[in-house]
Amino acid sequence: MDELTSLAQAARLGDGAALESFVRASYDQVWRFCAALAGPAAADDLTQETYARCVPGLQRFRGDSSALTWMLSIARHVCAAELRSRIRTRGSVVAGYEEVPGWLTAPDASGEVAVADLFVRLDPDRRAAFVLTQVLGLPYAEAAVVCDCPVGTIRSRVARAREDLIAMISAGETISSGTCQAGGSLSS
């Protein structure tokens, strides 16, 4: 059993210090997952909400899966609810991004488009699979537990995410070098 899971087991029996250590050891991963799924500005709120659900629910944590995958699957549900509410209030999750051509025109210090800025344009399922396995470094099997799907589905989602990102970067590079006139249609 990993350390985080032992802490969760202790916290569930009412050990306050273990609860604090559990939060301290896990919030960074939860925050980064939320930030990648729903945007860094909303990540504080979403992390907060994830813990608001996990902590009272710790008594139901049986240790069947690792505490991290348990936390991350709750975070995934919290973020999915947030994205759904954005669709309700704004009509579209991505509508707002398309108004800002920044990801095409603002390469980072090294002259490269920041890959993390492109995550948001991925399909949400592919985004989750890609972020879990690449940014958080989870094995496919654990990502499958978080996403509640078979390992083969994670493999195909990660590959599709890579294809999409490579296509986006190619499009951005051709636009930046001025050889393509697609910029206008993409940003309008």
Partner 1 sequence: MECHSAREAISARIDGEDPGLPGSALGAHLANCADCREWQQRAHELTRRARLGGPFLERDLTAQVLAAAPPVRAGRRRFARGTGMTQRGGLVAVALAQLAITVPLLILGHDHGAGAHAAHELGSFDLALAIAFAIGAIRPALSAGLAWPCGVAAAGLVVTAVVDLIDGQTIGADEAQHLIAVAGVALLCWQAMTIRSGAAGAAAETPRSWAASPPGAEHAARQVAVLWPETPPEPGGGSDAARVADPDVAARDGGKVA
To partner 1, the closest distance from the beta carbon of 160 in angstroms equals 8
At 86 the three-state DSSP class reads helix
Does 135 engage in binding with partner 1 (CB under 8 A)?
yes
Interaction with partner 1 in 81-100: which residues (CB under 8 A)? Answer: 86, 90, 93, 95-97, 99-100
To partner 1, the closest distance from the beta carbon of 141 in angstroms equals 9
To partner 1, the closest distance from the beta carbon of 1 in angstroms equals 19
By beta-carbon proximity to partner 1, the closer residue of 1 and 106 is: 106
Determine which helix (DSSP H) or strand (DSSP E) holds 171, and give its type and residue range.
Answer: helix 151-176
At 108 the three-state DSSP class reads coil
Does 65 engage in binding with partner 1 (CB under 8 A)?
no
Spatial distance between the Cα atoms of 20 and 18, rounded to a whole number of angstroms: 5
Does 158 engage in binding with partner 1 (CB under 8 A)?
yes
Does 171 engage in binding with partner 1 (CB under 8 A)?
no
Q: Are 140 and 69 in contact (CB under 8 A)?
A: no
At 13 the three-state DSSP class reads coil
Does 49 engage in binding with partner 1 (CB under 8 A)?
yes
Q: Taking Cα atoms as reference points, which of 123, 131, 103 lies closest to residue 36?
A: 131
Q: What angle do helix axes 3-12 and 16-38 make, rounded to 10 degrees?
A: 120
By beta-carbon proximity to partner 1, the closer residue of 1 and 52 is: 52
Interaction with partner 1 in 19-38: which residues (CB under 8 A)? Answer: 19-20, 23-24, 27-28, 31-32, 35-36, 38
Interaction with partner 1 in 99-118: which residues (CB under 8 A)? Answer: 99-102, 104-106, 108-110, 112, 114-117
To partner 1, the closest distance from the beta carbon of 66 in angstroms equals 18
Task: Give 25-31's long-range contacts (Cβ < 8 A, gap of 24+).
Answer: 26/67, 26/68, 26/71, 27/51, 29/68, 29/71, 29/72, 29/136, 30/71, 30/72, 30/75
Does 47 engage in binding with partner 1 (CB under 8 A)?
yes
Does 187 engage in binding with partner 1 (CB under 8 A)?
yes
Does 153 engage in binding with partner 1 (CB under 8 A)?
no
At 106 the three-state DSSP class reads coil
